[in-house]
Structure formats: structure tokens, C-alpha cells
Structure 1
Amino acid sequence: MRIQDADEAHLGGIAAIYNDAVLHSTAIWNERTVDAADRAIWLADRTAAGFPVLVALDEHDVVGYASYGPWRAFDGFRHTVEHSVYVRGDQRGKGVGRALMKALIGRARTSGVHVMVAAVERGNVGSIRLHEQFGFTHAGVVEQVGAKFGRWLDLAFLQLVLDDRAAPPAAVSDIR
């Protein structure tokens, strides 16, 4: 398995993993599937904003992907990102998520990100445990803020402080 930046050749695999999560899990709180054209727009938007989109590849296929983007759209949050990691169903438990997390955290650190936030459905114990293994701490739960499959969903927040800066840079700047 190798981790690299995503490009147009990976869009079908990314869309397939995304759609599987939409249809069969509460990892993504959307109810509509996407196609490669939709993911092309998403990839272009992410990269234009300076955010990474990483893919995990086996010999032939995309087996997972990860990205981060703005946590909130206000200047004061510019040093914080929210990330996502998704692994193809038949590859879960094989280290793909761990490899993507490691690469994504490394990318965030070298890009000057101060805090990485995870928003995880409270019942997704596997994802929560993975985050804990990387040093994420629990930051709270907001109950019944989502709905899918005919039930309310609770959202757990976890965070990882990536550096030990005592204070942020004084000027508003693009840290990505």
C-alpha cells in the first residue's frame, strides 16, 4: 500500500468509497450518492484552497482516502481543520485508516495547522478508538444533531493539538 496525493485517476475509487459510506453507514451524514464528476469538483475545491486529499492505493485500486478542510469559516478558526478518513469496506482493520491518519496528521503539522478536529458519530467506536490511538482527546458530544436511517445521531468531537505554540501568529494569513 502506498499513500499519495489524489488526482483525477482516483475519483472513481473515492466516489465508490464515499457512496458505500452514504448507503451503509453513519460515517457520512448525507443521503445522496455522488459520481466522479462531483468528486472532481470537490478535489479541485480542496486543492485550490491548499488542503490535501490523500489516497491509499494497493497495487491497482483506491482502498481509502483522507482530507482536511476548514473547521469553521471565520478568520479566528484559521489554525484549526476538520478531517475525514474513509476506508473501503473490505480493507477495514488492515491498517489503511492508520496509514492515512499518520500521513494526514504529518501534512497538517508541516502546513502549520495548530488543531485537528474529528467529528464522529458517537456509535462509531472503531473510529473513536483510532483517533484515541493518535492522541486525540474527547472534546464533547452534541446529542441528536443529525438524522439518518430513521434515527437521531449524536456527534462526538475529538481534537488533537499538533504543536506547542503558546500563541498564534499575529497576522491573518493563509496557513495551508
Structure 2
Amino acid sequence: MTISTHIRPASPLDAARICGIYNHYVTTTTVSFEEEPVAEPEMARRIADVAAAGLPWLVLVVDGALAGYAYATKWRVRPAYRHSVESSVYLDRAFAGRGFGRMLYGALLDALRGRGLHLVIGGIALPNDASAALHEALGFRKVAHFSEVGKKFGRWLDVGYWELRLGD
């Protein structure tokens, strides 16, 4: 059986499905440091804000179903940081472990290269072996580890940062 995949820019119309994917991570895991589910209008605003900043927000469609998304945001607000972004990728659990995350993240990195960006930073709540492995498989290297910077579900959480240099 052939699987059909397509990666396209997200639109605010994707907000409900994106909330369906993301809110699982918010409510059941420490992958996201958000503590309350995100409502559809807020997600639509986030998608629009990323687009307004001239950055990509991509969705992966597998056999007609929105299976995941990846996007980049500004790393910091001061002008000298304009060449660096922070990236995020989330997959519906039903599509995990099948190479879709790597495909989607690769497309995001290509889109960032096409915009002439210099550095991508991935922040990972730790422990998260799968995310660390994905980043490293795509060429990222770990550059920082902060201990106990967040608290969720009654426990202190660490965050690691991985970076990938895209170009000059």
C-alpha cells in the first residue's frame, strides 16, 4: 500500500487539528511547558503571527490527514538576532516512529535555508531521547543544558538546547 504525503504551509484553518495534536502534549507530557490546552482562536493567531514574521509554519498531510506540523519563531527580539530562529515539530502520536518527523523537520530546515537564515535552535524538555535523536540525525549538536528551569506535574524539568548552522 502506498502512503501519500504532502507538506504545505499551515493556515489558520488548520488551527483545530493542530490543537488536537499539540494539546495532547500539553495535557499529558512534559514536552511542552504550557500547562493549559490551547484554544483554536489562539492557535490560529500563533499561525498568523509566524507568517507575519516571514517564517514558515508547515503541516504534514498523510493520506489526507494532517499528521504533524513544524514551525520557526524568532529566537530573540533584538535586531542582531534576526538571523537565528527557534524551531518546533510535533506529530500526532499515530504517526510517530515512521520517519514522518524527520521528513517534516527536514522540509522546515530547507525552508529556513531558503530564507537565508544562519542558525536554528531547538529547545528540548529533558529527558526526551526521541527528540534529541531526531535533532542529532538532522545535524544539530547539543550546546547547552539548563537544570530545573521549569516545573510541571509537580516535578522540576531540565531543558537542553541543540543548534544547527544553516549557512554563512
Deviations 1:14-35 (A, max 9, x none): 0111101101111110011012
Corresponding residue for 1:91? 95
Contact 1:139 1:159 in 2 (8 A): yes
Give the unaligned 5+ runs of structure 2.
Answer: none
Which of residues 6, 16, 19 is equivalent to 2:10? 6
How does 1:115-130 map onto structure 2 within 5 Å? 115-130=119-134
Question: Partner of 2:80 in structure 1?
Answer: 76
Of the structure 1 ranges 78-87 and 26-35, higher mean CA displacement relative to structure 2 is found in 26-35
Once residues 57 and 48 of structure 1 are traced to their aligned partners in structure 2, the CA distance between those partners, rounded to angstroms, is 23
Instruction: Work out the CA distance in 1 between the residues paired with 2:151 and 2:162.
Output: 20
Question: Which runs of at least 4 in structure 1 moved beyond 6 Å after TM superposition?
Answer: none
Post-superposition shift, 1:59? 2.3
TM-score w.r.t. length of structure 1: 0.90
The alignment partner of 2:145 has SS state of strand
Counterpart-to-counterpart distance in 2, 1:49 and 1:24 = 30
| CA deviations over 1:61-115 (Å, ceiling 9, x no partner) | 2110000011111112111000000000111101111111100000110101100
After TM superposition, list the pairs within 5 Å mapping 1:142-161 onto structure 2: 142-161=146-165
1:168 aligned partner = none
Preserved CA contact (<8 Å) 2:13 2:44 = no
Aligned equivalents of 1:8 and 1:32: distance in 2? Answer: 20
Give the TM-score normalised by structure 2.
Answer: 0.94
Partner residue in 2 for 1:23: 27
Q: Contact (CA 8 Å) 1:87, 1:97: kept in 2 or not?
A: yes
Instruction: Kindly report the root-mean-square deviation, in angstroms, between the aligned alpha carbons of the 2 structures.
Output: 0.9
1:131 to partner: Cα distance: 0.4
In the alignment, residue 133 of structure 1 is paired with which amino acid? Answer: A
| 2:50 maps to 1:62 | no
Aligned pairs, how many? 164
Where do 5+ consecutive residues of structure 1 fail to align? 166-176
Q: 1:109 is aligned with what amino acid?
A: R
Comparing 5-14 with 141-150, greater Cα deviation is found at: 5-14
| Paired amino acid for 1:31 | E
In the alignment, structure 1 residue 134 sits paired with structure 2 residue 130? no
8 Å CA contact retained: 1:13, 1:61 = no
